Structure 1
Amino acid sequence: MKTLLVALNSKYIHSNLAIRYLKAYAGELCDIRIEEFTINQRVDSIAAEIFRIKADIVGFSTYIWNIEEVLDISRIIKIVSPETRILLGGPEVSYDPVEILQSNRFIDIVIYGEAEETFRELITGKNVDEIDGLAYRKGDEVFINPQRPLIENLDDIPFPYSENDGLENKIVYYEASRGCPFNCSFCLSSTIPGLRRFSIDRVKRELDFLIGSGARQIKFVDRTFNADKSFAHQIMEHIAQNSKQMTSFHAEISAHLVDHEQLEFFKGLRKGLFQFEIGVQSTNQDTINAIGRITDFNKLKEVSKTIASFGNIHQHLDLIAGLPFEDYHRFSKSFDDLFEINPEKIQLGFLKLLKGSRLRDEAELYGYEFLEKAPYEVLKTKWLSYEDIIRLKDIEELVERYYNERLFKYSITHISIKYFESAFRFFELFSDYWRRSKLYDQAHSRESLYNILFEFCKSMDIEDMALITDLIKLDFYVNNDLNKLPKAFGKTNSLEGSTLHDLLRKTELVKTYIPEELETSIKDLIKRIKVDYFSTDIFQLIKAAPPYSYSETKTAVMIYSPPMRKEDKKIFDVTKFVREVLV
């Protein structure tokens, strides 16, 4: 029996873990093929590729972000190949398998719950009515079998990746454990009791393989990676000792569980080795209590700020709009609480009432109005109107553009703290400016974003425009092409041509600041250097914490772009060297 397992990933560089587990657990029992597509590909094109394979069973891994495409593809396959059995599994069909079958007559079988053992029994020809964890169609009737117990020993599941998977430069999903010790009412992990782990020796061996594969990022899908302190520490210690420069690791942690010993360990890690995603969701204790979340925000804040001070670990802090007891004003407080930590990203999500979650069952209690179609996002609550939510969506877009991309590291933090009541208030008024100016309806180059921020500050009659100009200009030089300053800044005061040539030839500047370039010709070096005047002492700003104080001291600044990593630009105060040339 020829079986095809299909994944529709969100991006090409992603890999699907679920279908690989199924194939690995089935072993050599039958002919199993894996195909991965993305949700950005045309449905008819994917269906055509599947049809050409001529499989007896086509199985799909389903999630809220691909279920509609999966159903469309399945419908096509059943029309053009009625004898093909269509199988669905995954979280999007595990909580209403009977309804899925009744509503979609082109679906033959649904695996609900943990799928490895159920799938193996199915493809080996066992009668469907004898297989736990299965719902199926017989003629016009739909049947559901008893739920299958969880696999007790996760090491019974073979490693899902192989050398033929082509993982180089991809984001690879990996799990060291299943389950979660917490019971957050919006999350599906709370519906599966207990926390199970793969053995630590196995995890180390498998991570060594993935590191050797050249993967760009290994993303742990464990719901709370550091739920077991000792287990998590052993994994991270092994990664620190065996990782390669090209690979980073992403893990979702609970910051309030991190202790002093772990912070000391984090402090010594290579820059960029780890990214931590920290689900804060809300800083309102009434909200935290209502969703059954266990956290200590004061401890979380202390830990996250300490990690931020190390400068070596990216932190992504999450908020969810639409949770119980949090109105627009209180959500703004949660945002400001996170902004004070200054993480690399503040991710603003919007509540989705997932099938099987307790919060979906409590929808009426909290006045939730939501679409019954995936992704089931909430439209209004007792505390948030639809107008509130769409305004928060506008703000979320600007947070993504102006904060999370880290292209305005110096300017946004200073402007929002110094000249506005709060960071949230800044983004709120900036969003109003975008809406009035119809900027949301236009495409924007990166350069235009700097112009827009500059014009917004002017429109608000903000003092110290010289300082704001310098901060935005610094952000631009550090993150963009050195030779293309946005038009909002007018004529540049940068050193050009023979003056810049003389600066490098007649002074000790190169030897002092970039001795590694001593053998580089000035003609080539000039292409990677910008020297410009700032009206303030920009280095006083860089060393200080925002909001910045400054002195109006004209400063010559050199921005240097290394040959191999242009994003790692360096800045130097070259005022004294410029004076030597201009005298």
Structure 2
Amino acid sequence: MNIIISTLNAKYIHTSLSIRYLKAYAQPEYDAQLAEYTIKDPIMNIVGDLYSKKPDVIGFSCYIWNIEETMKVVAMLKKINPELVIILGGPEVTYDVHDWLDQIPGADFIVIGEGEVTFKDLLSEIEGEHNYKKVSGIAYRQDGKKVIQPQNGKVDLKSLPSPYRLEEDRNEISKRVTYIETSRGCPFSCQFCLSSIEVGVRYFDREKIKEDIRYLMDNGARTIKFVDRTFNISRSYAMEMFRFLIDEHQPGVVFQFEITADIMRPEVIQFLNDHAPA
């Protein structure tokens, strides 16, 4: 089964962390190919390139910045090859899946919520017995009716393999922005933000994250952006990571964080002023 996991980034220098998680978790049973494009690429070029790879299954990671272009790509691919199985996932289609099934008739499945376990389970059923009732966290159509199966619990983040050490990325790390995730979820309930729907914050294994950061710096990463919703929600955790990054910092490497400023304690600000590079 030839599997491609794709997305349309906002710019060439961006990398998609989500599709790398999917590939890493699907291995070794499924060796998916990554295919990244940008929203500025001509739609025909994207469709032509994907078609040339002769896929049986394509998964697309959908966000607010790429959903319109992704819908066009899906429609064209399905017209060229109706047998192609198309899976959509990501925050833009995770909510209101009932409506997205109407809006994107070319999508065979929509993955709801965290995708790693669900995507692999779904691949197993596509390849095997097609018993999709066994897969939690998907939406699809059956006999003209919509079927929506909610996620069965959250992913154990400490069990996820590293998405930062894929062989095809080895020579690309220095050319693009590297995104890294040390937690999922958010404690706040801001009405404008999808993250408020998920309750609580869960953390990845700290030592594995540190090893991944060392690996990325040693292999040429220059801009590392943390995608945690609120990096400093736990002061002790933020301080531990700040100390680690300062101690291990390599010249020319820039770290970026999303923080909540009004909970920054004076001693944390003082510590950064005294010890962090400019």
Task: Name the TM-score, length of structure 2 as normaliser.
Answer: 0.94
| Alignment equivalent of 1:233, drawn from 231, 239, 242 | 239
Displacement of 1:244: 1.2
Residue 221 (1) aligns with residue 227 (2): yes
What is the identity, as a one-letter code, of the residue corresponding to 1:104? I
How far apart, in 2, do the equivalents of 1:239 and 1:142 lie?
48
How far apart, in 2, do the equivalents of 1:3 and 1:260 lie?
50
Corresponding residue of 2:131: 127
How far apart, in 2, do the equivalents of 1:54 and 1:25 lie?
22
Residue 190 (1) aligns with residue 193 (2): no
How far apart, in 2, do the equivalents of 1:94 and 1:219 lie?
24
Displacement of 1:270: 4.5
Corresponding residue of 1:490: none
Corresponding residue of 2:254: 248
Displacement of 1:264: 2.1
SS in 2 for 1:136: strand
Q: 1:307-344 CA distances to partner (integer Å, 9 max, x unpaired)?
A: xxxxx3xxxxxxxxxxxxxxxxxxxxxxxxxxxxxxxx
Q: 1:362-413 CA distances to partner (integer Å, 9 max, x unpaired)?
A: xxxxxxxxxxxxxxxxxxxxxxxxxxxxxxxxxxxxxxxxxxxxxxxxxxxx
What is the identity, as a one-letter code, of the residue corresponding to 2:78? K
Check whether the contact 1:3–1:56 (CA below 8 A) recurs between aligned residues: yes
Displacement of 1:104: 2.3
Displacement of 1:139: 4.6
| Alignment equivalent of 1:164, drawn from 160, 163, 168 | 168
How far apart, in 2, do the equivalents of 1:31 and 1:160 lie?
14
Check whether the contact 2:223–2:255 (CA below 8 A) recurs between aligned residues: yes
SS in 1 for 2:6: strand
How far apart, in 1, do the equivalents of 2:273 and 2:50 lie?
49
Displacement of 1:211: 1.3
How far apart, in 2, do the equivalents of 1:147 and 1:52 lie?
34
Calculate the aligned-residue CA RMSD, in Å. Answer: 1.3
Corresponding residue of 1:30: 30
How far apart, in 1, do the equivalents of 2:157 and 2:101 lie?
30
Between the two proteins, the alignment pairs up a number of residues equal to 271
**Percentage of identical aligned residues:** 39
1:311-390 paired onto structure 2 within 5 Å = 312=278
| Alignment equivalent of 2:144, drawn from 125, 140, 143 | 140
- In structure 1, runs of 5+ residues without a counterpart are 272-311, 313-583
Displacement of 1:137: 2.1
How far apart, in 1, do the equivalents of 2:269 and 2:64 lie?
36
SS in 2 for 1:230: helix
| Alignment equivalent of 1:260, drawn from 259, 266, 269 | 266
Larger Rg: 1
Corresponding residue of 1:425: none
Displacement of 1:174: 0.7
What is the identity, as a one-letter code, of the residue corresponding to 1:265? F
Displacement of 1:31: 2.9
Q: Detail structure 1 runs of 4+ shifted over 3 Å in the superposition.
A: none
How far apart, in 2, do the equivalents of 1:26 and 1:235 lie?
29
Check whether the contact 2:17–2:179 (CA below 8 A) recurs between aligned residues: yes
Residue 154 (1) aligns with residue 157 (2): yes
1:274-285 paired onto structure 2 within 5 Å = none
Check whether the contact 1:113–1:148 (CA below 8 A) recurs between aligned residues: no
Check whether the contact 2:23–2:31 (CA below 8 A) recurs between aligned residues: no
Task: Name the TM-score, length of structure 1 as normaliser.
Answer: 0.45
- In structure 2, runs of 5+ residues without a counterpart are none
SS in 1 for 2:175: coil
1:151-550 paired onto structure 2 within 5 Å = 151=155, 153-162=156-165, 163-165=167-169, 166-271=172-277, 312=278
Check whether the contact 2:112–2:150 (CA below 8 A) recurs between aligned residues: no
How far apart, in 1, do the equivalents of 2:259 and 2:105 lie?
41
